[in-house]
Amino acid sequence: MARKISLALYQLSINRKGNRDDRIVLSDFMNGFDIIDIANELFNTLRYNSVNEDVAQNRDEEKFFRIMKRDGRDLLFTDGRYISGIIETGDCGTEENMVNVLTGEATHTKSVNEALLIPFYFLFMFLKILKLLFCF
C-alpha cells in the first residue's frame, strides 16, 4: 500500500432545535452534560479486548477498528480538555493472496477473519467556553 499522509480539520457544533444560529456551549448542554465526557466514553468503548470483539468489529460492514496498542498499552491519551490517540482500521471478510512484491511469490493468504490495519492519529480539542469542537 502506498504511503499516504493527509491532514483533515473538522469542527463540530450543536444548535438548538429549530434555530441554526443558536449554538450550544459544548461543555454545558443537555442539563449539564459536557461533550468531553461523552467523547471519553465513546473512545473507551473502542478499546479492544478479545472478550468484547463485537464492540470493535462491524460484521455487516466488514470493517474492523480499535484503539491502537503498543507494548500492551492503548494509545489513547487525555490531557485536560484534549483527547488524542491512534485508531487502527481495516477491511475484513475476504480471502486475499499476499505476495512478495520483489519476487512475485505468494507468501500468505489473508483469511476472512484477518484485516490489514491502517493507523489514523486523532486529536480532539474541547475548549471549555466555546460552542465549537475542533478535530484533527
In angstroms and rounded to an integer, the radius of gyration of the C-alpha atoms of the chain is: 19
Q: Which three cell numbers stand for residue 126?
A: 474541547
CA 58 to chain centre: 13
- The pLDDT assigned to 60 comes to 65
Q: How far is residue 9's CA from residue 123's CA, in Å, rounded to a whole number?
A: 10
Q: For residue 110, name the pLDDT band (cuts at 50, 70, 90).
A: very high
Tell me, what amino acid is at 64?
F
Q: Which three cell numbers stand for residue 8?
A: 483533515
- The pLDDT assigned to 135 comes to 67
Domain-wise residue ranges, the chain:
10-15+24-135
- Global pTM reads 0.69
Mode of pairing for the β-strands spanning 69-70 and 63-67: unpaired
Q: For residue 89, name the pLDDT band (cuts at 50, 70, 90).
A: confident
Q: For residue 101, name the pLDDT band (cuts at 50, 70, 90).
A: very high
Q: For residues 81 and 126, is the Cβ–Cβ distance under 8 A?
A: yes
- The pLDDT assigned to 58 comes to 54
3-state secondary structure of 105: coil
Residue 36: its H or E element = helix 35-45
Q: How far is residue 102's CA from residue 119's CA, in Å, rounded to a whole number?
A: 25
- The pLDDT assigned to 64 comes to 84
Of residues 19 and 109, more confidently modeled: 109
Q: How far is residue 125's CA from residue 108's CA, in Å, rounded to a whole number?
A: 42
Q: What pLDDT digit, counting tens, does each position of 21-77 carry?
A: 888 777 777 777 888 888 888 888 777 655 445 444 555 678 888 888 888 788 888
Q: How far is residue 58's CA from residue 134's CA, in Å, rounded to a whole number?
A: 27
Q: Is 91 exposed, middle or buried (0-12, 13-18, 19+ CB in 10 A)?
A: middle
